[in-house]
Amino acid sequence: MQGLVGRFARTVTAVRRGRLVRWYSGGGDDGVEDVQARELIDRQLKLAPAGGHQVLIVQPYIKWGPKKDRSTKPDVKLDESRSLVRTLDEWSVTDTLLVGLTSYRKHTFFGPGNVDAIALRVARDRRITAVFVSVNVLKPIQHQHLEHRFGVPVYDRYLMVVQIFRRHAVTREAKLQVALAELPYIWSRIRGTQDGYTERLGTEAGQIALSGKLMYDDKKDLLKAYEKKLKKLVDKLRSHRQHLRYNRSNKDLPVVAIVGYTNAGKTSLVRALTGDAGLVPKDCLFATLDVTVHGGVLPCNMTVLYIDTIGFISDIPTRLIEPFVATLEDAMFADVIVHVRDMSHPDVVAQKAHVEETLKTLSINPDLLNNVIDVGNKVDRLENIENDGSSVLISCTTGKGLDELKKKIERQIIKTTGRRIIKIRVRTGRDEYEWLRTHTAIVNIDTDGDYSVMEVIVTQSDLDVFKSLFIRKNINN
């Protein structure tokens, strides 16, 4: 015990000296209340030890009835659950279990027979250090019951995705949004304490630190103040992104938002379209948490901005994604949306439906939503594939279909932004010639003596400026 108290004392000393890693703020000036709030949240989130966990995945599913998920199969959901665990470098899958149910029990989730069977499997396999029950979110009372019976930490999809978000959040923006995404879960656990739910502290040191000191009202006040601070910072983030969008619109650069299910190949597509070798796609879920912007050039020589967005995933609470709306708004204000799908995935139809439903919740302009460019990626992994003409089939690996996709994006941008393709005969090398080279996208130039016939893509506003500067000026002279 003395050694435990000594470690705790050293931890407190480190906090007092300002050496505590302030995960969400990037090392900003946090008060004691912020430190306490983070400690409380970290315990509730069951952050894994340095060596990660060896996990038993339990994939429940409804066998029949109105609540049965008919859009996918249990083994496909189990594969996605495996991918979630393997996304965390130090974690590994020790064993898996499919459990068919007629309903989810209110207080215990599983029936007593299934709980006993899972508990026995955990007890017999000493390698198992955690159980992942792959459902949206467990109720506090269900969570408490299962952890008590299994004797190891229990994770639901919410907790698992939060672990991944924390690992993949690099910028301060992403960390802020992850921190805000954690709070609804914490609130449900804290309110559970008031209802007689015994709080599950992650370490003995944590129990010593908070025993008798943070009752429900204290925790509630602590979280309220912390949540208020986070929302204020995220509002600043939203204002900052609005400013960036305003600057982009002033430069009149078309914006193409790349969206899709997580790991469908969004970053790979942006790299293929822009030729940006600095982009390094990762074969894992939620590799991208920050919305990033990359410049590219279409066949008509028009410069566009491609926006790489966070991926979507099914069976997690919408409130886990809500804080990321500040960055997903970039898709809402794009000129064109490109929806990327992994055609090699067995659940591609269900994934498409999930992304489309999520987009509908973002208040996107109906015209923009009705003209989404559907892209089927990873076709190099398939031997035979039929195309009904509604999708552009591509492979970011081999380059197949990319030229066709660029032309389709080009046509859609010209249509949605009101641009025009026109030919203008001007004197080669003179002011009007140089102005067109600077302010328009040059499709083609044919030289005819001292004159050039320039085929350009131009916005109406730039065309009006050109007329004012050169055509009307010449007439007046």
At residue 240, does pLDDT exceed 50? yes
Known binding residues for Mg(2+) = 267, 288
Question: Where are the extended beta strands (E) located within 327-427?
Answer: 336-342, 373-377, 391-393, 420-427
Residues 116 and 135 placed together within one structural domain of the fold: yes
Q: What pTM does this model have?
A: 0.73
Q: Which amino acid is at 101?
A: L
Dist CA 134 CA 397 (whole Å): 32
Query: pLDDT above 90 covers what percent of the chain?
Result: 34
Residues 393 and 469 placed together within one structural domain of the fold: no
The pLDDT of residue 165 is: 81
Residues 41 and 154 placed together within one structural domain of the fold: yes
Among the three residues 244, 264, 287, which one is the final residue of a domain in this structure? 244
Q: 203: domain range?
A: 169-244
Q: CA-CA-CA-CA torsion for 394, 395, 401, 402, nearest 10 degrees?
A: 110
Would residue 11 count as lying in a domain?
Answer: no
Residues 61 and 139 placed together within one structural domain of the fold: yes
Please report, for the domain that includes residue 124, its CATH number: 3.40.50.11060
Would residue 368 count as lying in a domain?
Answer: yes
At residue 343, does pLDDT exceed 90? yes
Q: What is the 8-class DSSP label of residue 57?
A: E
Please report, for the domain that includes residue 338, its CATH number: 3.40.50.300
The pLDDT of residue 211 is: 44
Would residue 104 count as lying in a domain?
Answer: yes
Among the three residues 390, 416, 442, which one is the final residue of a domain in this structure? 416
The pLDDT of residue 60 is: 96
Closest to 409 measured CA to CA, from 312, 340, 332, 326 = 340
The pLDDT of residue 241 is: 61
Residues 405 and 268 placed together within one structural domain of the fold: yes
The pLDDT of residue 82 is: 93
Known binding residues = 260-267, 286-290, 308-311, 377-380, 395-397
At residue 210, does pLDDT exceed 60? no
Q: How many CB atoms lie within 10 A of CB 81?
A: 23
Would residue 16 count as lying in a domain?
Answer: no
- Three-class secondary structure assignment of 223-253: HHHHHHHHHHHHHHHHHHHHHHHHHHHHCCC
Would residue 23 count as lying in a domain?
Answer: no
Residues 258 and 392 placed together within one structural domain of the fold: yes
- Spell out a b/e string for 420-448, using b for 16 or more CB atoms within 10 Å of the CB, else e: eeeebebeeeeebbebbeebbbebeeeee
Residues 257 and 402 placed together within one structural domain of the fold: yes
Which of 95-99, 130-134, 310-314, 450-454 shows the lowest per-residue confidence on average (mean pLDDT)? 310-314
At residue 68, does pLDDT exceed 70? yes
Burial label for 456, CB within 10 Å (0-12, 13-18, 19+), is buried
Which of 14-23, 275-284, 336-345 shows the lowest per-residue confidence on average (mean pLDDT)? 14-23
Mean pLDDT, range 351-366, rounded to an integer: 84
Residues 68 and 128 placed together within one structural domain of the fold: yes
Residues 464 and 400 placed together within one structural domain of the fold: no
The pair phi, psi for residue 420, each rounded to 5°, is -130, 145
Q: CA-CA-CA-CA torsion for 316, 317, 320, 322, nearest 10 degrees?
A: 120
The pLDDT of residue 59 is: 96
pLDDT grade for 26, boundaries at 50, 70 and 90:
very low
Residues 271 and 407 placed together within one structural domain of the fold: yes
Distances (CA, A) of 323 to 173, 261, 320: 11, 18, 7
Residues 266 and 358 placed together within one structural domain of the fold: yes
Dist CA 455 CA 301 (whole Å): 11
Q: What is the mean pLDDT of the chain?
A: 80
Q: How many CB atoms lie within 10 A of CB 371?
A: 13
The pLDDT of residue 194 is: 52
Q: Which pLDDT tens digit goes with each residue over 30-44?
A: 566 777 777 777 777
Residues 387 and 427 placed together within one structural domain of the fold: no
The pLDDT of residue 244 is: 60
Contact 355, 258 (CB under 8 A): no
The pLDDT of residue 138 is: 92
The pLDDT of residue 461 is: 86
Among the three residues 166, 184, 211, which one is the final residue of a domain in this structure? 166
The pLDDT of residue 101 is: 92
pLDDT grade for 354, boundaries at 50, 70 and 90:
confident
Which span out of 45-59, 63-77, 102-116, 384-398 was modeled with the highest average pLDDT? Answer: 102-116
Would residue 22 count as lying in a domain?
Answer: no
Q: Which pLDDT tens digit goes with each residue over 310-325?
A: 777 777 766 666 656 6
Dist CA 67 CA 69 (whole Å): 6
Distances (CA, A) of 421 to 261, 405, 444, 471: 35, 19, 11, 18
At residue 171, does pLDDT exceed 70? yes
Closest to 47 measured CA to CA, from 191, 171, 203, 151 = 203
At residue 167, does pLDDT exceed 70? yes
Known binding residues for GTP = 260-267, 286-290, 308-311, 377-380, 395-397
Dist CA 412 CA 337 (whole Å): 10
Q: What three-state secondary structure class fits 104?
A: coil
Residue 358 C-alpha from the chain's centroid: 12
Distances (CA, A) of 183 to 158, 197, 233: 12, 18, 15
Closest to 24 measured CA to CA, from 231, 317, 308 = 231
Would residue 27 count as lying in a domain?
Answer: no
Distances (CA, A) of 124 to 59, 95, 119: 19, 12, 9
The pLDDT of residue 250 is: 52
Mean pLDDT, range 305-313, rounded to an integer: 82
Would residue 274 count as lying in a domain?
Answer: yes
Mean pLDDT, range 367-386, rounded to an integer: 89
Our count of domains for the chain comes to: 4
The pLDDT of residue 151 is: 94
Mean pLDDT, range 429-458, rounded to an integer: 91
